[in-house]
Amino acid sequence: MSTYSLFATTPKAMETLLSSELQNLGIENIKATVAGAAFQGDLETAYRACLWSRTANRILLVLSTFTVKSQDDLYRGVQQINWFEHINPEDSFAVSFSAKNSEVINNTHFGALKVKDAVVDQMRAAFNRRPSINTEQPSIRINVHLQGETAQLSLDLSGESLHRRGYRDVNIKAPMKENLAAAMLLRCGWADIAKRGGTLLDPMCGSGTLLLEGAMIAADYAPGLLRDYFGFIGWKQHDAECWQKLRSEATLRKNRGLSNLPDIVGFDQDRHTVNTARAHVINAGLQNKIHIERRDIQDAAPAESWQAGLVVCNPPYGERLGDEAETAELYKKFGNTLKTKFQGWQAALIISNPELGFRLGIRSQKPITLFNGALECKLLRLHIEESAFFIPKATTPEERIAQVTAPPIEANVGWVSDSVTQQEPTQNTGAVMFANRLQKNLKTLGRWAKQNAITCYRVYDADLPEYAVAIDIYQGEQTWVNVQEYEPPKSIDQHKANQRLAELLAEIPRVLGVSRDNVFLKIRRKQKSTDQYEKHGETGHFHTIIESGCDLLVNFEDYLDTGLFLDHRPIRQRIQDHARGKRFLNLFAYTGSATVHAAVGGASFTTTVDMSNTYLNWAKKNLALNPNQGEHEFIQADCLDWLSNEAKQTEPRLYDIIFLDPPTFSNSKRMDEVFDIQLDHIQLINNAVRLLANDGVLYFSTNFRRFKIDLAALADLHINDITAATIPKDFARNPKIHYCWSIKKNA
């Protein structure tokens, strides 16, 4: 057999696992790189990697490497391959193109078209016929990666990502890919635990991915055995006999492994999720091998017959929509369950917010970095034994504020009462520096705000790292100050952090000239989702402010955010300036402030869509405060579903201006699927554009700091980055507060 240059891709931070896997398959001379590993081997080696790798995404067979200094170089380099050796003229193919640090081609869509043209032109010239394009299951998939001036041209033997094992319902969008689940289990030593007969339990099993991957590892069950499509099946050089031999060998190994499988059990409190997991178990042929039942986390307990093993799960972690206090309480319950019922076991969980890990009250080994899509996470590994137990320090907003004030404030958001100043700190050098900086900012920004008739603005945003708070001034019938403390890192002594907070709370009323009763304090953790929408109080105290002639209600006590995103002030003004006579759509509308601006600007018709009835009512109240002449509708719905359904209509409703400001990530129980802005923005934007009038404009905004818009996938649209123009002066110190684009249909 011929020897080929091969390359396996994998998610970042899983390269070491991938290399170990390849070594265990008998492959030598492996060279690990970022997000992959290069190796050599014959077709059997390549097939074996496709069939057995639990951590790879794709297996590429390298056809050539060539230099690209012009667009024609790419075309000529692809035509150097005799494509008749790989496909017939009546076959199909697809192209995947990526580029990094290229000065010649940085539009992946254009690069893919150039590759396609090279293949089609060659085949048409030779046979007067051309192969067709099939993006779903082509005869071959061509992969080109351009790094600087060096292009690597490959066949994608996997065809589609290897994380798709074939047992998951394609309509179910799970929060964890199968190869990430496998990586978690491999990092925790599950294979050795299973050999000793240890039990695997996932007490928050969701759609069952960890259980299924655990069973496949324990049973020596090849992860690719269920798949009926690979990228080499339609390839002219495919060795069907070799492939069938490997499948038969894998089937024998699976059957032997399943006869000696340890106990594998999953619990989940949601009935629908339990049914989904059971369906996936049946799809994998593992019925009677994995037990799944509906049970709450606090009721999780091992059966007497189970051997101590591994508790593993992917619990809610910081990115998901939901009550933050409830999420923290869930981790506390989970920790108590582990400590009281699973001593002698090991445990592992993947988290994004390290603070939630402390809520468990169990010391972990050194965390391991993994990536769940674009989201950086930490894998915590725990030994459940008394020597590892501890009482978590105060981490909730209530506890943090209680440490700053005496007696404690009752909620995590509320007014700064006189109790704060009963132990008012002596003014030290740091406090003086903070007061001076705040006074300087007030002088500069106050003058700018007055000149531009701006009544609500940010006057301070962690300008001094030691005093890490954001301070916003709201002016209405009174002046209020909203203070948000950025939670200090764990490396900062908590007592010092509390002392500094007390110092600045003493200075703010004096410098800004407001009553202490009008200063409100909140704890803001690292925001990657829409936690700011969740309710924290029940005071119902609303105040009216004016922005660009619009009356808007704000609330300083009941929510983490006030109901008005100050950094979106310029985009709201832009909407207002261009709204006269226009039809306006506000998606993920929150409290409807953009709708009010459109209405006051003279919009003829507005549609406001949000899932929360609370915020829709708030939006209605905002609109009722303002005179307007248009027609207005408010729709309570999952914006993703509503937008998708409207876009599918033969004659969808059309709008002249659309404002689309979605959350970064959502796994709300009220939504059918997980939403990830990085993964899902293409479909979201395309659906919104379907509702856009021919000369209309879509304003798309996100506050996900690592967001990268896929211009190649949206190449048929006219997209203009207007971020700089939508960052107001009071947020200029933080240019990544949000990103914003104007999107129009190409003429």
Ranges of each domain in the chain: 4-156, 178-237+253-386, 397-526, 564-745
**The pLDDT of residue 415 is above 80:** no
What average pLDDT does range 154-175 have in this prediction?
85
Output the pLDDT for position 531: 42
Contact 145, 112 (CB under 8 A): no
Q: Which residue has the tokens 């008005």?
A: 564
Q: pLDDT tens digit string along 479-523? A: 999 999 887 666 566 677 778 888 888 899 999 999 988 999 887
Nearest to 212 by CA among 302, 308, 280, 263: 280
Output the pLDDT for position 393: 55
**The pLDDT of residue 18 is above 60:** yes
Q: pLDDT tens digit string along 40-92? A: 999 999 999 999 999 999 999 999 999 999 999 999 999 999 999 999 999 99
Output the pLDDT for position 527: 42
DSSP string, 109-159: HHHHHHHHHHHHHHHHHHHS--PEE-SSS-SEEEEEEEETTEEEEEEETTS
Q: Is 658 helix (H, G, I), strand (E, B) or coil?
A: strand
Torsion region of 38: left, alpha or beta (phi above 0 gives left; psi -120 to 50 gives alpha): beta
Q: For 4-156, give the CATH class.
A: alpha beta
What average pLDDT does range 721-730 have in this prediction?
96
Q: Residue 567 has which token pair?
A: 């950094």
**What is the three-state SS of 2-19?**
CCEEEEEECCCCCHHHHH
Tell me what percent of the residues of the chain surpass a pLDDT of 90: 73
Output the pLDDT for position 532: 41
Q: For 397-526, give the CATH class.
A: alpha beta
Better-predicted residue by pLDDT, 421 or 109 = 109
**Triad 180, 181, 187: Cα angle to 5°:** 85
Judge if pTM exceeds 0.85: no
Whole-angstrom Cα distance, residue 413 to residue 1?
70
What average pLDDT does range 190-196 have in this prediction?
97
Measure CA 296 to chain center: 26
Which amino acid type is present at position 591? T
**The pLDDT of residue 417 is above 50:** no
**The pLDDT of residue 404 is above 50:** no
Q: Which residue has the tokens 């207002």?
A: 576
Whole-angstrom Cα distance, residue 204 to residue 316?
9
Contacts of 493 (CB under 8 A, 6+ apart): none
Dmax over CA atoms of the chain, in Å, equals: 90
Whole-angstrom Cα distance, residue 53 to residue 60?
13
For the beta carbon of residue 293, count every other beta carbon within 10 angstroms: 11
**The pLDDT of residue 411 is above 60:** no
Secondary structure letter of residue 195 according to DSSP = H
Select, from the ranges 158-162, 319-323, 419-423, the one with the highest average predicted confidence (pLDDT): 158-162
Domain 564-745 in CATH 3.10.450.630: no
**The pLDDT of residue 406 is above 50:** no
**The pLDDT of residue 370 is above 60:** yes
| CB-neighbour burial class of residue 746 (10 A; exposed 0-12, middle 13-18, buried 19+) | exposed
Better-predicted residue by pLDDT, 413 or 230 = 230
Secondary structure letter of residue 534 according to DSSP = S
Contacts of 565 (CB under 8 A, 6+ apart): 590, 593
Instruction: Say which CATH superfamily domain 178-237+253-386 falls into.
Output: Vaccinia Virus protein VP39 (3.40.50.150)
Q: Residue 263 has which token pair?
A: 């106990």
What average pLDDT does range 380-402 have in this prediction?
69
Q: pLDDT tens digit string along 313-335? A: 998 754 443 455 677 788 999 99
C-alpha distances in Å from residue 627, one per residue of 343, 503, 573, 609, 737? 65, 44, 17, 21, 32
What average pLDDT does range 3-7 have in this prediction?
97
Secondary structure element (H or E) that encloses residue 530, with its range = none
pLDDT tier, 119 (very low <50, low <70, confident <90, very high otherwise): very high
Output the pLDDT for position 621: 96
pLDDT tier, 557 (very low <50, low <70, confident <90, very high otherwise): confident
Average pLDDT taken over every residue of the chain: 88
For the beta carbon of residue 516, count every other beta carbon within 10 angstroms: 18
Whole-angstrom Cα distance, residue 27 to residue 209?
28
Q: pLDDT tens digit string along 711-723? A: 999 999 999 999 9
Q: pLDDT tens digit string along 81-109? A: 999 999 999 999 999 999 998 988 988 88
Two domains, one topology: 178-237+253-386 and 564-745: yes
**Triad 634, 638, 643: Cα angle to 5°:** 80
Q: Residue 146 has which token pair?
A: 């351009």
Better-predicted residue by pLDDT, 541 or 585 = 585
C-alpha distances in Å from residue 645, one per residue of 650, 653, 676, 688? 11, 11, 19, 11
Whole-angstrom Cα distance, residue 364 to residue 345?
13
Q: pLDDT tens digit string along 451-466? A: 999 999 999 998 888 8
Output the pLDDT for position 424: 43
Whole-angstrom Cα distance, residue 411 to residue 522?
9
Q: Which residue has the tokens 């009010």?
A: 596
Q: pLDDT tens digit string along 246-259? A: 999 999 999 999 99
Contact 382, 360 (CB under 8 A): yes
Whole-angstrom Cα distance, residue 736 to residue 69?
34
Q: Which segment of 13-17, 188-192, 328-332, 578-582 scores lowest on mean pLDDT?
A: 328-332
Output the pLDDT for position 8: 98
C-alpha distances in Å from residue 357, one per residue of 261, 320, 330, 349, 394? 31, 15, 11, 9, 13
Output the pLDDT for position 472: 97
Contacts of 11 (CB under 8 A, 6+ apart): 35, 55, 57, 177, 179, 180, 183, 370, 371
Q: Which segment of 91-105, 198-212, 291-305, 511-525 scores lowest on mean pLDDT?
A: 511-525
What average pLDDT does range 403-415 have in this prediction?
33
Q: Which residue has the tokens 């979106």?
A: 568
Nearest to 659 by CA among 604, 729, 592: 592
pLDDT tier, 397 (very low <50, low <70, confident <90, very high otherwise): very low
Output the pLDDT for position 402: 40
Contacts of 259 (CB under 8 A, 6+ apart): none
Whole-angstrom Cα distance, residue 435 to residue 442?
10
Whole-angstrom Cα distance, residue 728 to residue 568?
8
Q: Which segment of 118-122, 329-333, 614-618 scores lowest on mean pLDDT?
A: 329-333
